[in-house]
Every structure is written in C-alpha cells, then in structure tokens.
Structure 1
C-alpha cells in the first residue's frame, strides 16, 4: 500500500517536472536562453500587416462568409485602372476562395464548410472573419529570378501552448492565396499559423506590348522599373521584346510556363522554406526580447511545434515532396487531397482493383495530360465541332464511322490508358483543362521561352471569335487577383488562315477545324519522343525539344520515402485530371517499396470525388465536395500528432450524390472515415501490392 503511494507520488513528481521542463523549452520564458531569431538568408523584403477581423481579416479579406457566397459580387476597385494593394488582396482572396470551394449553399457552403462553420462542423451565425497578422516575403537566391512568394498568417487566436503550423502551397499555378479555402481555412480556425507559398508558379503576368509586370503585391509596373521586385519577367532583351510584340500583338508570358526554371522541381523546397518562414514569424511575434533589446529570441522550433504539410492538387504534391526532402524535422505529418504526385517509377509495385491489375499505374503528368488533350476534345465535340474526331480517325488514331462511335472509342482509349469508368461522365468537362496543362507543362519542363512558340503555341486573350486580342488596361491592373496562374488562352500560331485560339484552330495536315490537332500531336510527340501518327522516333529539332521536356519531367518525380512521417492522402475516385491510378494509388505502392512495414501512410479513396469542388453544383449527380474530406484528414492527423489517436486505415469511402443542385447535400451524403472498414471497403497493402476494392 505504502509502496504504491510512493510510486504514485514519484510518478506524479516526474510528470510535473517533465511538463515544466517541456513548457520552459517550448515557451522560453527566459528569453536569453533561446537563440537569436534570425530570418533565413534566402528571404528578402519581408512585410508585415495586421488585420482587425472587422474591416479586414486573414481568411475572407474582410468580406465574411456572406461576401464569398455564389450570390455575392466581386469587391471591385475604386479606380479599376489603379487598384490599391489592399483592393487586390481582397479580390485575390475572393476569386481564389470561390475557384476552389463550391460556394453554393445547397452544395454545403455555410453548412458543412465555409468561414462560418466551426471546427466541429457546426454552422454559426457569424461571418467567420479571423483577425491576425500576415507576413509576406520573397524567397530567392539573390538574383530576383526566382522570387517565390511565401506568406505566413498568424491568427490572433494562435495557441502558444500548443503551437502548430499548417502548410498551404497553392494548387495549380495559383498565387500565394491559392490555398485560402483549403488548408488555410482549416489552419486558421484551429489556431495554427498557416505557411503559404506560390511554389514559384504564382500569378506573374507579363505583357509584351507594354513591357509590364506584376509586383509581389499585385500592382503593375514597367519591367525596367520593377527590376528584382517583379514577380516574374521573361528572359528576353529589349530588342527581342519589341520584335516579338510587333509580330505577335497581345501575346503574354506567365511564370509557371515561361520562367525557364522548371519550378516544379523545387516545390518541396518551397514548402520547407515556407515552414522556416513561419517559425521565424512566430518567434518575431511571440519570442521574448533579448536583454539588449536588439531582437527576439527563438521560442518555437520544429521540436516543440507540430507542422502538418497540407493542401490540394499541386499543393498537395508539394507537401509530400517536402516530407520526402525534409532533413531538419520541419514536417511532423502530412494530410493532403488529390495530390498531383508523380512516382519515379511505375514497375516496382502492383496496383490492383477488385483483384485485377490496373492499367497505366504511375504515369507522369506530361504523358497523361498530352494523351487526354488528344481525346477529351473529341468527347466534348458536337456535330458542329466534330473536326477533332474526324481528324483523329483519318490519322488512324480513332475508329468509328460517325461522331457517336468515334466518341465511344475515345472514351475506351482513355480507359485503356488508365482512366477509370467513373471518369466517363466528366471527360468532356475536363477537356479544356487538360489542354491548358499540356501546353503549360511542356513549356515549363522544357524550360522554353515564350518566344519559342513550341509546337506553334503562344498565349494571349481572345475575342468572341477566338482571334488573339490584348488585355485591356483594367484587366492587366486586376490580373493578380483574377487569374488562376495559367493566363490567357493557348494560341495556335500555325493554324490555316493565321493565328487563333486552339479551339478554333485549323490544322495544316487536315485542313479541318480540328481544334489545332497538329499542335497537340506535336506536344504528344515531345512528351514521348515518338511521333504518335507514324510511331517513328523523333529527329532533329523535335528530338532535341523532346529530350528537354522529358528531362524536366524526370526532375520532378517523387521517391515515395516519407521518412517515417505519418501521412494521410485523400483522393476522389472520379478525378479526371489527376487520375488515381497515375497518382495516389501508385504513390501508395511506391511508398510500400521505399518504406515497407515502417510506412505510416494511409490512403482514403472517396467515390464521387473529382478534382474540382466547384463542379459540385454543376454536376450534382456525379460530384460531391472533396474538401470536406481534406478537413477530416487534417482533423485525424492533428488528433494523431497531439493525442496519439490512431489514424484511420486505408479505405474507400462511399458517398451519395444528389439528383440535382436544388437538393441540399448533408452529412448523410458524406460518410466519415471509419476505424474498422468493412472488407469490401478496405484498401490493403501487402508487400509491394496495393489492393483497392471495386
């Protein structure tokens, strides 16, 4: 009896001392015990702003939940030709939030997700504005050519006793506010700092005709005046610029496609840099002043701060790559959705569905996007725009004697290449998206200049007839806020009759309005090194360009080794852009090869989840909002890291869609992960074989 009391007393004393020690280490109550807080050397031009949560805030730009709804107009500008940085920021938040989340109430906005929904998923009557501090900087090597925008948002509610950071690399090619509706919203609501980065792809519109650029805050400036402060400028001389502008009026360049740096190869680094910036910002805000009053001391470190790598799509891939590359213990765990992850190989593992090996596992983005860009436009065609199908059939790349038969064959070819049957209803919708991906990433991977006109393509705005035009002064002025990072329309310069938008381009080889098929066959050839019509290897200039593209693609692949970090990947089975066979299923297999039994990766596949939540109201009979599951994954990961709660096992979650968009989505449509999935829903990894149920 007395022994038990003694043991209990000693245990309690040890626990108390341990807690005190950890508290002292975590909070550095004696400031001089910590190292001086210093900004990483790669950061420059750090700016700090505070938002009161009334007139402006971190999450909604002062608009509140009601100001982001489908019915709410854009905030606009007092002077559209000269918008202020504050106006551009507010509009950037407005457009980025609404581009990622479906803001229609029947889709769940304001009820299942949204600024006014609390961390327990309960709608409140408030606007969900979050006061706090925003740090922004450039991460650069000193040349001014990288100028990756990094941002840290610290809510006033930041919990210094339980410090946490959530990463928010932008999805797609978006600017630094691109993850505001995804990991940004979750992190801010959960009293965490959010570490954002535009990954070196963010909105950086350059217009040749007036030689102007975006500054980091979105304001336009002449290239010569901006200098190293430009978000992006192409590597062209004044003479080259003038000549190109004269020959190709209205053409533009943008950072992701035309920086000639293949930014994707550094996405993991950019996320890690954003975390280091977040730690600096937290210590700048909360660290105690040194005795000499000259600076702050380090209070928060990777050892006492939970950091979850998160985001969606390209941003989700960036978080996974950061976890792979992390050598400083910056990332504690990962929770991502629909990552555009590219496994370094496709043969060291096997992915099976319903016991049958899938086709196309682990394909690279440049491979499957250029393939989709051939066939999806045919599926989207009408009788009036059947030229793509007709031209493909004439070249032996499609069978069928009429449009309907040719479209059936196009769908069959995509399925045979690795798309799932669940993508069939969405193929037409995704056609213009894969076109943008194919052109943009060919330029990016090959490090081509905008003046190279690879495969005959440039970029420009177009008029109603598809003819190249120019951005108006007001459009240029607001471009930072309104553009998604891939700017303008691909122009097919080699079209019969002269340059025009790809969708109305006439191929020289067919003399048909085939949506510029010759140009897309060229892109396909560069992706594979093979002429898709003849089957012959490329030669000459095309072979050289293809080598550049494939080398760039090889630089961005993932190795699957998460260094023992716990990770949750959520992906929609109906994703028609980042197809699960090519991405998340394959990454699960690659991780099994890399980490084996030590792996802590879990994979959740959600039926009726596609790549774009904004389609929830457009295609309600096929689509549910996947963002709900990202938030649940973040909930699960934080519970695991803070409280050692078990992660959900890998599983398929089966959702229910709606007959139309007048029927409100409810929790019943979106069942949660479960701790013990039924055998028919369990995703199993055995050795290096991944088994996904039907």
Structure 2
C-alpha cells in the first residue's frame, strides 16, 4: 500500500520546519523563486510549498506574536521520508511525509501525526504539528487526506509525481492523481473534487496510515532503536479545520494505537449538528444579502469589503425574485436574510467573521468542490455544470502554460480558485452570474433528484461517531468562527461524545475566528486573536498529562482581550489557561 518512497536530507541552510527560510523568509510577501520557472527542482518546490503552507495558516505579520509570544520557527535539521500511501479500496493515494529530526528524543519516542487543514497539500499542517513537535524532538507524520494540490492537466495529459514535479503519463510514472475523464473533457482535474473516492469519508484512516508509515520511517532513520510499535511509541494526533475533523475521525478507530487527540476548529459532522455542505450552500446564497443589515455593522474590513456590498445588493434582488427572502426593498430583504440565518443557527459573531468568506467567494468554492467529491463525479460530470481551468483574456477556458502548471503543487490550496486555476460555470446570467449555480448547489442538499441523492449519500458517509473509550481528546474552537461555526460542529460533537460516556475537554475561545493568516489585515488584527496559541497550549497540557506531570485541561470559555488597532499582541491579550 506504499509506493514512490523518497528520503531527503535537510541540513545546512535547509531544515524540516521552514526549509531554511526562517521567520524572516516566511514573512516575505513573494514566494521563493524557481531558477527555471518551467522546470523547478523538487527542492525548490518543497521550499515554496512550505512557504505557502505557513502563510496559509499562521499569522506571521510583525506584531502578531508568532515567534515572540508563541510558536517557533527555529531551524530543525533532519530527514524526510515521503511516499504515496493507498488505503484498501481507494482509487487514489494520499501523500504522507514523516519528518524525523536529527535530535529525535530516544527517551520519549514520540510521533505527532497530523492532517492538512482545508484541502491543502501534504505540508498543510506544518505550522500546527511540526512547529510544536519538531522542537520537542518528536517525529511528525503528515497526510494530505487524499486532497491537496496534485492537480492533473487534462489538456496536456500531465500529472504530478511524488517529488512534486510535473510529468507526462507513462507506464513507469504513478501520478498522485490519476484523473479519468470522457473524451473531449478539458481543463484541470482537482484531487479533492475528482479522486472518485469521497476522501472525507476516510480521513481517520488516512491519519492512521500516516502514523503507521511514521513507525516504518523511524525504523529506517533510527535502526538502533528498532522496533518502533504503537506499544512503545507515543502517538499524539493534532489538526485544525479539516485536519481537526480528520484527527477526530481517527479517534474513533479501534485499537490502542493513539494516545491523545487535540482538534482545533474541527470540521466535523455529527447528529445534532449541520454538515459543511448544508451551511456552506446556505451561506453562499444568503450571506451577501444578510451582511447589508445595519444590525451587523460595523463589519470587519477585508480587502474585498466593497465588493461584498455590491454583490449583496444584487443578491437581495435575486433572492426576492426566487422567493427566498421577503421584503419590498434591499434593506428589508437584508434584514430578512439575516433573520433566516439566525434562525438556522448562525450567530451574529459568525456572520461578521464570515464576511471575509463572502468577499473571497469562498462559500461557492467550497460548495463546488465538495459537491463533486461527495457525488464522486469525474471531470466534466458536475451536476451543476462547474469545472476548473485557466482562463484567457476573454474569460474563456484555455490550456494552462508550463509555468502555471509547474507551480500548482507548491502554490495551490487544493480548492480553486488559486494558482491560476479558476472555477468555470455554465450557464451564467447577469446581473447575478453566480446565482443560478448556487441555487443548483443548494438543491443538491435540499432536493430529491438522482444527483441530489448521490451527493447526500456522500455526506452521510462522513458522519462522525464518539472517540474510543479512554482516549484523551481536547477540542479548541473560536467563538467567532465564521467558516465552521461552533454551533454546527464542535458543540454538537462534544455533546455527542459526552452522551456516549467519553471524556472530551472543550476550550471555547472568545474573539477567535477561523483564519489566523488573515490577522495580517489590520481590522482583523484589531478585532480577533489567533487560535494557534491555544492549540499549542492544549498540546502542552496533554503531553504533561501523558507524562504524569499534570491533569487534562478543564473545560473553559476563555475570556480574551482584542489588541485593538496598531497594538502588538501580548500574552495578556490571549489569557492562555495555566
């Protein structure tokens, strides 16, 4: 079940944690350059992927506190063991990377296993797991959960190899995504959308297989300490967002292989909650209009705040015409859209923070990709007519260039748009070109067509259950999360687990929203606090408990203080639990 294994050494100007960039290099706004843009080396691709992964997760802005108040970017030399791993019954592999520091603690024998946040590539949790585990002498095992940035160019027949380079299909080449499409289908196949596996249903198994590969890698790296088994090696799972959901799914699996779990802002679907697809398609339709309600003012001001307002005015009219809101004018329609979202569980704090997702059109991006994944649709089969491609100057699909294609693996987030790949859609109609597609996506949740039942079956397959009895689990979530609201995810998960007799600890963090990386925007920095320091602290508390030096953290609603405009973050703002 393991193929395309590689071992790489990272010392002397390179390292495991930042690829030699350090905090200053990670803060640079432009990505590390390729010597030859059309043919980057595997080392260049890795460095750029690590840069992208850090910047997509952590607040690295000066004054944000990273590397000063919390967190580490200290150089950690060592080796990486990487491979493509395939679950029994899966069509496509997932990427696994095990980072073994030279200073691996032989007395502790620990592995931190993690899953990428969102749909990111295999380094997508480096700021979460590696930043905590590597400086402590732990090995860190990563999986991309069979999503990631292994795009496939259908026009050129080119896929991504194990080392991140782009290669033509050949008998000897196993791409990380082997996309199949009907004759004449062009554009870009995206692994999360087009794997044919509904990867989310197997997130827990991906984490388990990554942990198993870590034992194999440790035996190769430290044969003097072999054998490495789950009986003699501590395994702690940690992740945020989709990675948080993945480690909670891993917690369900039988066997005494996992010692503790810390899940931050987890995307988790349980009885009593709401699935991501449900509330994403609802938000995509209603939120642009609802955000015009003065009762939500003042909204955070992301770069696209003006666009949110313009789209909202048009959206209110579309919703009224479709009978989805009431009101004689945009002002009344906005109030009604706001009321409807509150009635379905959205808090005003979540709606305000969600303005950023509305501005970046993230709701539509998520819905398009997840509908394809849940329904296991191949490229060209999306029931709402969506696809992915590069666009020409007239906004028509065109073949990708070599320079664009080679940067997908390092730069893409796993969910277009991004890295030169955008969503294509037919049909569209002014004045609200996205509205018909969004209605179609919503109908896949609320309807009873064959396609709707197909997508709904995929969602049903991801439903979570309680963790294994006796397993320490800590859930950490921001009360202002506007992408994965606590009311739909963490709160019902904790209630379900406790009803099953499990001891799950729960930290609720005031003034924390979903995206630490967006705290670089001044208004977000003034209003909100990062979640990562609470995840690191929860890991510290879990480690102390496993060492017999402390108790598991008690439940807490953590009262914090926003730092305000122009102020640097301090420990006092965070009020981290002792």
After TM superposition, is the score higher than 0.5? yes
5+ residue gaps, structure 2 = 292-306
Partner of 2:294: none
TM-score, reference length from structure 1: 0.77
Number of equivalenced pairs? 554
Once the two structures are TM-superposed, the CA of residue 469 in structure 1 deviates from its matched residue by 4.3
d(CA) in 2 for partners of 1:61 and 1:402?
54
Please give the alpha-carbon distance, in whole angstroms, between the structure 1 residues aligned to 2:317 and 2:153: 36
Distance 1:257 1:429 in 2: 23
Counterpart check, 1:92 vs 2:63 = no
Q: Normalising by the residue count of structure 2, what TM-score does the alignment of the two structures yield?
A: 0.92
Tell me by how many angstroms 1:546 deviates.
0.9
Q: What residue is the counterpart of 2:304 in the other structure?
A: none
Asked if 1:553 corresponds to 2:553, the answer is: no
Q: How does 1:188-203 map to 2 (within 5 A)?
A: 188-203=134-149
Out of 259, 282, 288, the position equivalent to 1:377 is: 288
Distance in structure 2 (CA, Å) of the matches to 1:465 and 1:626: 41
**Residue of structure 2 in register with 1:604 after alignment:** 507
What is the correspondence of 1:134-533 to structure 2 with a 5 Å cutoff?
A: 134-140=80-86, 145-224=91-170, 227=173, 229-236=174-181, 240-241=182-183, 243-245=184-186, 251-288=187-224, 298-327=226-255, 329-343=256-270, 345-346=271-272, 362-378=273-289, 379=291, 381-383=308-310, 386-431=313-358, 432-462=361-391, 467-487=396-416, 488-495=421-428, 506=429, 512-529=430-447
Q: Following the alignment from structure 1 to structure 2, what is the Cα–Cα distance between the partners of residues 655 and 83?
A: 45
* Distance in 1 separating the partners of 2:544 and 2:87: 37
How far apart are the structure 1 equivalents of 2:94 and 2:483?
Answer: 26
Say which SS state the counterpart of residue 605 (structure 1) adopts.
strand
Structure 1 stretches of 5 or more lacking a match?
1-41, 117-127, 246-250, 289-296, 347-361, 496-505, 507-511, 530-537, 675-694
Match of 1:666 in 2: 570
Instruction: Name the SS for the 2:424 alignment partner.
Output: strand
Quickly say closer, same or farther: Cα 1:433–1:578, change in 2 above 3 A. Answer: same
What is the Cα deviation at residue 584 of structure 1?
0.5
Report the counterpart of residue 109 of structure 1 in structure 2.
66
SS of alignment partner, residue 386 of structure 1: helix
For 2:50 and 2:322, the matched residues in 1 are separated by 46
User: Aligned partners of 1:580 and 1:377: how far apart in 2?
Assistant: 21
CA-CA distance at 1:465 after TM superposition: 6.9
Residues in 1 aligned to 2:229 and 2:366: alpha-carbon distance in whole angstroms? 38
Larger Rg over CA atoms: 1
Q: Secondary structure at the match of 1:137?
A: strand
State the 1:300 CA deviation.
Answer: 2.5
Larger mean CA deviation between 83-92 and 212-221 belongs to 212-221
Whole-Å separation in 2 of the counterparts to 1:225 and 1:94: 33
- Between stretches 404-413 and 637-646, larger displacement belongs to 404-413
SS in 2 for 1:459: strand
Change (3 A) 1:141 1:309: closer
Query: How far apart are 1:461 and its partner, in Å?
Result: 3.3
In structure 1, C-alpha distance between the alignment counterparts of 2:147 and 2:4, rounded to whole Å: 19
* Partner residue, 1:627: 532
Shift in Å, 1:463: 5.8
Q: What does residue 640 of structure 1 align with?
A: 545
Q: Distance in 1 between matches of 2:5 and 2:21?
A: 25
Alpha-carbon deviation of 1:513? 2.0
> What's the CA shift string for 1:414-454, capped at 9, x where partnerless?
22111122123223211212211111111000101111132
1:209 offset after TM fit, Å? Answer: 1.6
Shift of 1:308: 0.7
Partner of 1:526: helix, strand, or coil? helix
